[in-house]
């Protein structure tokens, strides 16, 4: 419905007078016509039709309760059951005090007794009711999220605080629902599909937490918050929400962080920060969907903040070092060193060596990864140049390109300057791009990759098989090698030695005419099985862990001899 302010025509708001007495209609019309545009109805059915026809412009209804065809109370019931009409304010016209009470309970804003009071009293009651309705509509438009109809975050926090004041002894839980890789779903299927999923999730959460004392809101695009009386188990909620998503044939999962028995001395934001921390703990865990907050997570959060804050200093002080893990061509009788992967390590002066599994996701999330990657590109190029000069030998080294870097219009010029500055060629520097990067704005990414290849760079698709691209899409991707997702190796050999998925990937690579690289190979059994399956390149602890540049030189010297 349009706002009441927009509904003013010729400087006048529009009123409907519904009364079966001609004299009453005319009397009210004469009193009000100088300030309002007046519509008149002589029975309940006529009033209802006029309300429907003018629902976008009506500012108020003056309603007689005793009318033919449809009584005033029956009409009020119809209006209350129609979402498009229930917001129009109604003032009842009656001489029956009992009816006054009933009509107010049915949603009427006010009443005007019969016989009518002084005109100024009538005008004042009408003006006040319209003002209240307009204020209510303004509040409603800011109170509810336009897409889902849930509370906006500001009103959600307000109602949570208000509930705590009235029920200070009630044990409450703060829940944060997040959708894994929701951006990927939007990119693959479009915003309309994403919006449909969000609305379905919102509806299911409202239904699940419909009891008194529970509040639900959508905080951001794919994050929902719930404040509710304590429950011991929320797994059934996850099951219900997941069932909705599966009905829409969407391959996304929902995870929930739970902060149980909220400490009400914390402000409401801090309570949901804890729920979010718990949800983020299982962000990349695809077998666990519920995580409960504990105080140790706060320590982890503070640790993460420290690493992010100290990144510029660490980069300036060369606390990061580039290690190299060899890759071997296993197609012949004896494995032959063919290339290596550059892997960054952080040696912190007080915290010791920090795992890349800890700091790389943090830097990706905070937009720092591009600076770290460029450091790795430059240091790797310097090392290749040094090996060529001192040892007279080198192998191509793979470096990582993140999805964000693929959007940098200066990427190619930057890569060429790095190679030129160090006197090496693009063939010396292999570029690893994750499979998921191709999915986002695929046409733009594919064009960028094609241009990189045209400039001589060798492209490896990293983490292939992680589940993002379709078979149809793969045939169009510009790549020079497929690198198996490490989970393939683990799942194939950790349980039942089921290598069928690996065979499928190798068949796909054969179809594309590119080699397959298997990383994470740790045992002779894995090595021999992969070789039998036709895997060309193998990387992993079976040959060597990642080592510093000076230690990697022994592999180069063996290759030269």
Please list the pLDDT of the chain residue by residue as tens digits (561 residues).
344 344 444 568 889 998 988 988 888 988 888 888 899 999 989 999 999 899 888 889 898 888 899 888 888 888 888 877 877 888 888 777 667 777 777 778 888 888 888 888 888 988 888 888 877 766 666 677 878 888 888 889 988 998 998 888 999 999 999 887 776 666 666 778 788 888 888 888 888 887 667 999 998 778 999 999 999 889 888 888 877 777 766 566 788 999 999 999 999 999 999 999 899 888 777 678 899 998 877 788 888 889 999 999 999 999 999 999 999 999 998 999 999 999 999 999 988 999 998 899 889 888 899 999 999 999 999 999 999 999 999 999 999 998 888 888 899 999 999 999 999 999 999 999 887 666 655 677 888 889 999 999 999 988 776 554 545 566 677 889 988 877 777 777 776 667 787 888 888 888 888 999 999 899 898 899 899 989 999 999 999 999 999 999 999 998 876
Q: How far apart (Å, rounded) are the C-alpha atoms in residues 68 and 535? A: 86
Q: How far apart (Å, rounded) are the C-alpha atoms in residues 559 and 307? A: 39
Residue 3 has a pLDDT of 41
Domain 13-142 matching CATH 2.40.50.140: the answer reads no
Residue 7 has a pLDDT of 44
Q: Tell me which residue has tokens 């409202």.
A: 206
Residue 489 has a pLDDT of 77
DSSP label at residue 173: E
Q: Exposure string (b/e) for 298-309, b if CB count within 10 Å is 16 or more?
A: eeebeebeebee
Spatial CA neighbour of 457 closest among 407, 486, 415? 415
Q: Is 160:227 a contact under the CB 8 Å cutoff? A: yes
Q: How far apart (Å, rounded) are the C-alpha atoms in residues 401 and 374? A: 9
Q: Is 152:142 a contact under the CB 8 Å cutoff? A: yes
SS3 content of the chain, % helix, strand, coil (to 5): 50, 20, 30
Domain 323-560 - what CATH class? Answer: alpha beta
Strands of the sheet with 110-113, listed across from one edge: 36-41, 13-18, 58-64, 90-94, 110-113
Q: Tell me which residue has tokens 């420290």.
A: 306
Residue 180 has a pLDDT of 76
Spatial CA neighbour of 112 closest among 133, 129, 88, 132? 129
Spatial CA neighbour of 398 closest among 445, 436, 362, 433? 433
Spatial CA neighbour of 195 closest among 147, 144, 130, 123? 147
Strand partners, 345: 321
Q: Structure tokens of 517?
A: 């690289």
Domain 153-293 matching CATH 3.30.360.10: the answer reads no
Q: How far apart (Å, rounded) are the C-alpha atoms in residues 401 and 411? A: 10
Q: Tell me which residue has tokens 């794919």.
A: 222
Which sequence spans correspond to the domains of the chain?
Answer: 13-142, 153-293, 323-560
Residue 471 has a pLDDT of 54
DSSP label at residue 171: -
Helices (H), 95-231: 97-105, 119-143, 153-166, 182-189, 191-208
Query: Which residues, other chains included, contact 221 with Cβ-Cβ below 8 Å and sequence gap of 6+?
Result: 182, 198
Q: Within 13 Å of residue 541, how many CA atoms lie on the same side as its CB?
A: 5
- Within 10 A of 467 (CB to CB), how many other CB atoms are there? 13
Q: How far apart (Å, rounded) are the C-alpha atoms in residues 91 and 129? A: 8
Q: How far apart (Å, rounded) are the C-alpha atoms in residues 440 and 445? A: 8
Radius of gyration from C-alpha coordinates of the chain: 34
Task: Give the CA dihedral 279, 284, 287, 288, nearest 10 degrees.
Answer: -10
Q: Is 315:406 a contact under the CB 8 Å cutoff? A: no
**Residue 231: Cβ-neighbour burial (10 angstroms; 0-12, 13-18, 19+):** middle
């Amino acid at each position: 419905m349009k706002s009441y302010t927009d509904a003013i025509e010729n400087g006048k708001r529009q009123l409907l007078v519904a009364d079966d007495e001609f004299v009453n209609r005319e009397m009210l019309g004469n009193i009000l016509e100088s300030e309002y545009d007046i519509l008149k109805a002589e029975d309940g059915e006529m009033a209802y039709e006029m309300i429907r026809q003018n629902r976008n412009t009506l500012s108020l209804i003056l309603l007689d309760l005793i009318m033919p065809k449809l009584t005033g109370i029956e009409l009020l019931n119809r209006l209350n059951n129609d979402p498009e009409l229930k917001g129009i304010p109604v003032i009842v016209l009656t001489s029956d005090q009992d009816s006054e009470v009933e009509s107010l309970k049915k949603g009427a804003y006010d009443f005007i007794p019969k016989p009518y009071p002084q005109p100024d009293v009538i005008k004042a009651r009408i003006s006040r009711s319209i003002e209240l309705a307009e204020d209510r509509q303004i509040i409603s438009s800011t109170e509810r999220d336009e897409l889902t109809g849930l509370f906006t975050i500001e009103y959600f926090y307000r109602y949570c605080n208000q509930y705590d004041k009235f029920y200070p002894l009630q044990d409450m839980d703060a829940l944060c629902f997040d959708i894994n890789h929701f951006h990927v779903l939007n990119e693959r299927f479009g915003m309309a599909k994403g919006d449909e999923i969000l609305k379905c999730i919102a509806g299911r959460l409202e239904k699940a937490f419909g009891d008194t004392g529970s509040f639900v809101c959508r905080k951001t695009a794919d994050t929902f918050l719930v404040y509710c009386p304590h429950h011991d188990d929320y797994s059934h909620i996850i099951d219900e929400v997941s069932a909705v998503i599966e009905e829409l044939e969407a391959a996304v999962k929902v995870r929930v962080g739970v902060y149980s028995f909220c400490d009400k001395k914390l402000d409401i934001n801090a309570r949901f920060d804890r729920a979010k921390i718990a949800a983020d703990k299982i962000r990349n865990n695809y077998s666990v969907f519920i995580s409960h907050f504990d105080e140790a997570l706060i320590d982890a959060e503070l640790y993460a903040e420290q690493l992010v804050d100290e990144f510029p200093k660490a980069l300036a002080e060369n606390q990061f070092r580039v290690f190299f893990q060899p890759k071997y061509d296993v197609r012949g009788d004896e494995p032959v060193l063919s290339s290596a992967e550059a892997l960054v390590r952080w040696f912190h002066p007080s915290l010791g060596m920090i795992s890349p599994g800890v700091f790389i996701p943090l830097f990706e999330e905070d937009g720092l990864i591009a600076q770290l990657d460029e450091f790795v590109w430059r240091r790797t190029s310097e090392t290749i140049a040094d090996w060529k000069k001192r040892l007279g030998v080198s192998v191509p080294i793979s470096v990582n390109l993140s999805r964000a870097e693929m959007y940098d219009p200066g990427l190619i010029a930057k890569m060429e300057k790095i190679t030129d500055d160090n006197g090496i060629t693009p063939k010396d520097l292999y570029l690893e791009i994750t499979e998921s990067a191709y999915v986002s704005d695929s046409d733009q990414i594919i064009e960028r990759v094609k241009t990189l290849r045209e400039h001589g760079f060798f492209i490896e698709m990293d983490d292939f098989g992680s589940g993002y691209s379709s078979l149809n899409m793969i045939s169009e991707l510009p790549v020079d090698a497929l690198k198996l997702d490490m989970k393939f190796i683990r799942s194939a050999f950790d349980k039942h030695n089921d290598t069928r998925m690996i065979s499928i990937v190798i068949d796909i690579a054969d179809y594309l005419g590119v080699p397959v690289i298997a990383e994470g190979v740790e045992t002779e059994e894995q090595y021999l099985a992969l070789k039998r399956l036709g895997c060309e390149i193998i990387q992993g602890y079976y040959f060597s862990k990642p080592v510093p540049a000076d230690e990697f030189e022994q592999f180069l010297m063996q290759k030269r001899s």
